[in-house]
Structure 1
Amino acid sequence: MTNPEKSNDALSRRTFLKSAALAGAGSLAARDANAAATSENPQETTMANQTSSGQVPRRPFGKTGQQVSILGVGGFHLGSAKDQQTVNAMVGKAVDAGVNFFDNAWEYHEGEAEERLGIALQGKRDKVILMTKVCTHGRDKKVAMEQLEQSLRRLKTDHLDVWQIHEVVYYNDPDLIFRPDGAIEALEQAKKDGKVRWVGFTGHKDPAIHLKMLSHDFPFDTIQMPLNCFDARFRSFQQHVLPDANRRGMAVLGMKSLGGSGELVTHGGVTPEEGLRYAMSLPVATTISGMDSELILDQNLAIASSFTPMSAGERKALEDRCRALSADGRLERFKTTTMYDGKVGREQHQYPEVEKLPA
């Protein structure tokens, strides 16, 4: 499939890299000193675990007993990288830097994203927490189990660490997922069969849909949601879903820290460092970032390896600075438009083609 993000990512990411490279590099030392001096919450100062110098820190992965890197690698963008050689180099560099979380989905690039990651992880599989997503979009357990077998073959592994229901973004999705013979039964079966260690779900549209999923009290291990410095003001996952997920002991996977295609940087006046550092300072297990080149990977590794949490005061100051642009979701297009909704999901819900990103 062609993901609607793809046509915008390359231009957006290259634009914000050019505009923010100096700002990101120049502020690391000042940031570290300021964070240490101003953090008023003891939990915030201990969120990043002790780690070797230059390595990406790790945190508890929910109640699983595992440790996960605070930075995760997004699977869709690996599928957008130049070639397999580039993907191999990026995955190797990330693992060497201490990154151990890799995201993917059955439908990304019609399976090529999983295939690329599977090749790149050869000889490294036991060093990572490998996650992919099932893309039934309302279809039944049988479809889900078929997709699981396809994902395992593509990823060249006999089990997944995390299997999540992808793109829970339509208001009837929870009903379809929890119906008899629905996708939720596939999650149970896969876990029982030992093909999956932990299960969860993802979505980016409306916190009410996440809350409806959680209202079923299914023992999800993980949950994925958009968390960034604009989210606090509009359809806020941070305000409405994150506390419930933390109360349940779930491993929270943050995404879209820069808006999905860098919108918070290119149009919102936020530097990559500010955006990532804000997202990583929330009570999450990891922040998944889309990276389609070594240049972007290097930028994010530098931010993550030098990470110290923002204080509550620093986070509020950034939220207030972004207030004018964050109140109506204009730069969180994954919430307010269809351009981030995958083609397969729209087809299964009988919706027309996605909107095009305005110039």
Structure 2
Amino acid sequence: MSSDFDRRSFLKSAAIIGAGSIVPGKMTAMAQNTNSEKRSGGAIPRRKLGKTGIEVSALGMGGYHLGSAKTQKDAVEMVARAIDAGITFFDNAWDYHDGQSEEYLGSALKGKRQQVVVMTKVCTHGRDKNVAMQQLEQSLRRLQTDHLDVWQIHEVIYDNDPDLIFRPDGAIEALTLAKQQGKVRAVGFTGHKDPRIHLAMLAHNFPFDTIQMPLNCLDATFRSFEQHVLPEAQKRGIAVLGMKSMGGSGEIVTHGATRPDEALRYAMSLPVATTISGMESMEVLEQNIGIASGFQPMAANEMQSLRDQVKYWAADGRFERFKTTKMYDGAEGRKQHEYPPTSELPA
């Protein structure tokens, strides 16, 4: 979905980064136990992707926002800049901008595919294994590659999604088959609605390699993935991919709950393999590179202080609208679950 906030306001808030001091501190106890980081000078740290043997940058580039770039040329230039800065993890999904996001990324990675980790998502939304495998082939063509490093089931956000995914001939069988065929190296799932649904997926005890979820300083005290799903993923050795560090469309920052550097540092300080951030312009990309380069994790007391600071805004989910409304739910999923498209909803 398109952003619903004033980007200039976002960038104005970002300017505070230069004036804000980053307080060095030891990593939180949770992060100390799980994050093994490699770095060189002021470079963006790299971390292990769980048990996969894959190494990824601690900051990842979001695929939806890449597809929002003004032109394909802009997208190609942004990907080149991201790689030069040390970003190696690139997110995407079969349905982002009706395939345009995958096409942009595929063009941008010509001659650079071996330097990066490519993840995209299958958007069956209840449909069977055959549909999933067809979507995989389409994604591979758009991305101009013969394999994916990570393939995830997209937007597991409806209460009956786990049952539909794990039914006989369901999408979960496609994950197993694609891995057996060597078309994907690692598999997982993603969602942004409710930690209960993530836990219902994990209850099937499928050997997921990755799991993607919203992780930010507000989430810690409202319908919290950090409190309920993150520990379970750690226990199982599943690599966690964080997203929506600033609220999905930057609401946490643009409404004044916190600064961009605080928001992104908090998310990156959690025990995650990477934090995926939407960056549809060079300005936002440079902002996030500046925060991630030479990254130092927040100390436990800093993290708690930030949670306390934003507790009022966290209480009703007003800036985590992906949890409390349907405005962030993708068109393909809405269609398969027979919800009206956004265009038919009242203003």
Shift of 1:358: 10
SS at 1:80 equivalent? coil
Shift of 1:356: 9.3
Shift of 1:44: 3.9
Match of residue 179 from structure 1: 167
Match of residue 90 from structure 1: 78
Which of 215, 220, 227 does residue 203 from structure 2 map onto?
A: 215
C-alpha contact 1:54 1:306 (8 A) present in aligned 2: yes
Alpha-carbon spacing, 1:350–1:358, altered in 2? closer, same or farther (3 Å): closer
Which of 100, 104, 113 does residue 88 from structure 2 map onto?
A: 100
Matched, 1:230 2:230: no
Q: Deviations over 1:109-159 (max 9, x none)?
A: 000100000000011100111000000000001110000000000000000
Match of residue 12 from structure 2: 18
Q: Which has the higher mean CA deviation after the structures are superposed, 237-246 or 89-98?
A: 89-98
SS at 2:211 equivalent? strand
Give the Cα–Cα distance (whole angstroms) in 2 for the partners of residues 39 and 206 of structure 1: 27
Q: Which has the higher mean CA deviation after the structures are superposed, 233-242 or 64-73?
A: 64-73
Q: Deviations over 1:210-252 (max 9, x none)?
A: 0000000000000000000000111100000000001111110
Residue identity (%): 65
Residues 116-265 of structure 1 correspond to what in structure 2 (within 5 A)? 116-265=104-253
**Aligned partner of 2:11: which letter?**
L
Q: Deviations over 1:264-286 (max 9, x none)?
A: 00114211100000000000000
**Aligned partner of 1:184: which letter?**
I
Match of residue 58 from structure 1: 46
C-alpha contact 2:190 2:213 (8 A) present in aligned 1: yes
**Aligned partner of 1:20: which letter?**
A
Give the Cα–Cα distance (whole angstroms) in 2 for the partners of residues 53 and 252 of structure 1: 25
Shift of 1:15: 1.5
Match of residue 75 from structure 1: 63
SS at 2:67 equivalent? helix
Which of 13, 20, 24 does residue 35 from structure 1 map onto?
A: 24
SS at 1:89 equivalent? helix
Which of 340, 347, 358 does residue 335 from structure 2 map onto?
A: 347
**Aligned partner of 2:200: which letter?**
K
Shift of 1:40: 6.5
Give the Cα–Cα distance (whole angstroms) in 1 for the partners of residues 318 and 296 of structure 2: 29
Give the Cα–Cα distance (whole angstroms) in 2 for the partners of residues 39 and 150 of structure 1: 41
**TM-score scaled by structure 2?**
0.96
Shift of 1:12: 3.4
Give the Cα–Cα distance (whole angstroms) in 2 for the partners of residues 46 and 130 of structure 1: 23
SS at 1:181 equivalent? coil
Matched, 1:334 2:334: no
Shift of 1:19: 2.5
**Aligned partner of 1:163: which letter?**
W
Give the Cα–Cα distance (whole angstroms) in 1 for the partners of residues 167 and 345 of structure 2: 35
Alpha-carbon spacing, 1:68–1:109, altered in 2? closer, same or farther (3 Å): same
C-alpha contact 1:75 1:103 (8 A) present in aligned 2: yes
**TM-score scaled by structure 1?**
0.93
Shift of 1:70: 0.5
Give the Cα–Cα distance (whole angstroms) in 2 for the partners of residues 353 and 150 of structure 1: 24
**Aligned partner of 2:166: which letter?**
F
Shift of 1:89: 1.1
C-alpha contact 1:339 1:355 (8 A) present in aligned 2: no
C-alpha contact 2:3 2:249 (8 A) present in aligned 1: no
Shift of 1:7: 4.4
Match of residue 113 from structure 1: 101
Please list every run of 5 or more consecutive structure 2 residues that lacks an aligned counterpart in the other structure.
Answer: none
SS at 1:130 equivalent? strand
Shift of 1:48: 6.3
Give the Cα–Cα distance (whole angstroms) in 2 for the partners of residues 188 and 50 of structure 1: 31
SS at 1:106 equivalent? coil
C-alpha contact 2:35 2:273 (8 A) present in aligned 1: no
Q: Deviations over 1:31-65 (max 9, x none)?
A: 1xx323x6574954994623222321111111112
Shift of 1:192: 0.5
